[in-house]
Chains A and B, each alone.
Chain A
């Protein structure tokens, strides 16, 4: 809000009431009092509070009369279209997030999610896999190890403690091993990403088994999926944002629009596209439903003052003449 003063709002209200009663006593008009004008000054809150106090004062006139407090007249009752219904029309493709759906699991089975779907699946050993959009997991539980192959996509694992049976996630060449902890693995172009939310994990490349990386809670690592086995570890990463998908949300904290759009497109068949290159670098802050690209597009349209049009299963941002 645009304010020039830092007075607490309660104090402003009280001063406004004092002014109303003082004017009432002295029988002067508000615009005639220089002191009042000085107090109102440039602070819009004071001006608003004064009007409100005047209105409340006027409303209390004739308090004792029967049917005293004025009933406002009814104005312009008109039918209006429901804009939310309009947006909902384009949302059919956005599949509902199926959190908490306990899918039945066979031994050595495959788990998949479609675009826009998030599944939380209890595993036979007591661990829980929360699987993000458009992902594939293959489970291979054996007496000595618990092996999970992440074919594509992303999953977060809450691993049941069993020191006799390590829990190993395979993402391409990358291996991530835990005993009892929580971590996520995401397959990305050129690198696998590991985020540790609890405890400690070890990560390595299958072709370089001797070089092991120890990752602790709060750390995010990217490990090259092929070629030279480089790694990059971030400490104190914004993990809650990266893992907001577990709640069906996308959290933006200053990411450029282009990146935000790519993130939404992971979750939805209705794809977003940025037609105006000047928009791509605009940064955004916010918390959104991952399966509501229309809502996100609408918010972007308002925030960046840009046209938003729906064209055959896609939403174009910044299309001229739209």
Chain B
């Protein structure tokens, strides 16, 4: 998983963009699996955070199936922990296997996921206090800098920064709490070969 020593590290911006497009949309599915396979663990968020750290150091340019890769990282984290603790839970392992080997989502599912996500984000924005929503829209939709937003609204840059951060936290938290539409456990679709496959 770690790249070889001579590998040139990817630019941070490239990594962030790739993660935002290829990994983030699958987080809900990973969480759904964690909840199903490890319902009693309290540290799902810790596992997710540690997985993202691994992703930052991985040879992403060699990844062909990001969703499977994400699951593979989670799997490795759990396996390493099992080895340390000498705890073996076969059911979790076999579940993990079936997920790690699952094919990537077909394109129609991806579009549905993205559309649901967009709706979700707009719903979150709609529920925010008016000033926060306005600031966030100016920053992310109208692409104004924080400084320009402060000047236009006649507030300090600190206010803009605080409101923007609060909006981002709300959205991040929503990503952590998968909506039913994004909960892969509930989505079934026909595989290319006509075989029903249970996702996530």
Residue positions of A touching B, CB distance < 8 A = 1-3, 9-10, 12-14, 16-18, 20-22, 24-25, 29-31, 44-49, 51-64, 68-78, 80, 82-84, 282-289, 292, 295-296, 298-300, 302-303, 305
Which residues on the A side are within 8 Å of B111 (C-beta)? 71
Name B43-59 residues within 8 Å CB distance of A.
Answer: 43, 45-56
Q: Which residues of B contact A18 (CB under 8 A)?
A: 165
The CA of A287 and the CA of B94, in the complex, are separated in Å by 13
Other than A51-B16, A74-B110, A287-B91, give 5 A-B pairs with Cβ distance below 8 A.
A1-B77, A55-B16, A55-B19, A75-B22, A75-B66
How many chain B residues sit at the interface, stated as a range, is 35 or more
Q: Are A75 and B64 in contact (CB under 8 A)?
A: yes
- In the assembled complex, the CB of A250 is this many whole angstroms from the nearest CB of chain B, namely 10
A-B contact pairs, 11 of them (CB 8 A): A24-B146, A31-B12, A45-B53, A46-B49, A48-B50, A49-B49, A59-B20, A59-B21, A69-B121, A74-B110, A295-B90
Contacts of B142 in A (CB 8 A): 64
Taking a contact as CB atoms under 8 Å apart, the answer to whether A51 and B19 are in contact is yes
Q: A-B pairs with the 10 shortest C-beta distances?
A: A76-B64, A48-B52, A48-B53, A9-B45, A64-B141, A48-B49, A299-B88, A55-B20, A55-B19, A45-B49
CB-contact partner of B118 in A69, A75, A303, under 8 A: A69
B185: chain A residues within 8 A (beta carbon):
none
* Residues in chain B near residue A51, CB distance under 8 A: 15-16, 19, 52-53, 55-56
Asked whether B90 lies within 8 Å of A75 as measured between CB atoms, the reply is: no
Residues of the B chain whose Cβ atoms lie less than 8 Å from the Cβ of A14: 169
**Nearest chain B CB to A168 CB, angstrom units:** 39
B161 touches A56 (CB 8 A): no
Query: Chain B residues with Cβ under 8 A from A48's Cβ?
Result: 48-56
Residue numbers of B with Cβ under 8 A of A are 12, 15-17, 19-25, 27, 43, 45-56, 63-66, 77, 79, 81-83, 85-91, 93-94, 97-98, 101, 103-107, 110-111, 114, 117-118, 121, 137, 139-143, 146-147, 157, 160-161, 164-165, 168-169, 171-173, 175-176, 192
Given contacts A53-B172, A71-B110, contact A287 B89 (CB under 8 A): yes
Interface of A is mostly: helix
CB distance from A319 to the nearest CB of B (A): 19
Residues of A within 8 A of B49 (CB): 9, 12-13, 44-46, 48-49, 52
Checking A44, A292, A302 against B50 with a beta-carbon cut-off of 8 angstroms, the contacting residue is A44
Asked, given contacts A72-B110, A78-B103, whether A58 binds B137 with beta carbons under 8 Å apart, the answer is: no
| Distance, CA A48 to CA B63, complexed state (A) | 18
The docked-state distance in angstroms from the alpha carbon of A56 to that of B120 is 14
Instruction: Give the CA-CA distance A31 to B9 in the complex, in Å.
Output: 14
Q: Chain B residues with Cβ under 8 A from A296's Cβ?
A: 90
Query: Chain A nearest CB: distance from B124 CB in Å?
Result: 11
Chain A residues closer than 8 Å to B51, beta-carbon distance: 48
CA of A152 to CA of B16 in the docked complex: distance in angstroms? 64
Residues of B within 8 A of A300 (CB): 88
Q: Tell me how far the C-beta of A165 lies from the nearest C-beta in chain B, rounded to whole angstroms.
A: 43
Indicate if the CB atoms of A63 and B121 lie closer than 8 Å: yes
Residue of A nearest to B95 (CB): A84
Q: How far is B6's CA from A248's CA once the two chains are assembled, in angstroms?
A: 52
Question: Quick one: closest A residue to B176, CB to CB?
Answer: A13
A63: which B residues are within 8 A, CB to CB?
Answer: 118, 121, 137, 140-141
A307 to chain B, nearest CB (A): 16
In angstroms, how far is the closest chain A Cβ from the Cβ of B167?
9
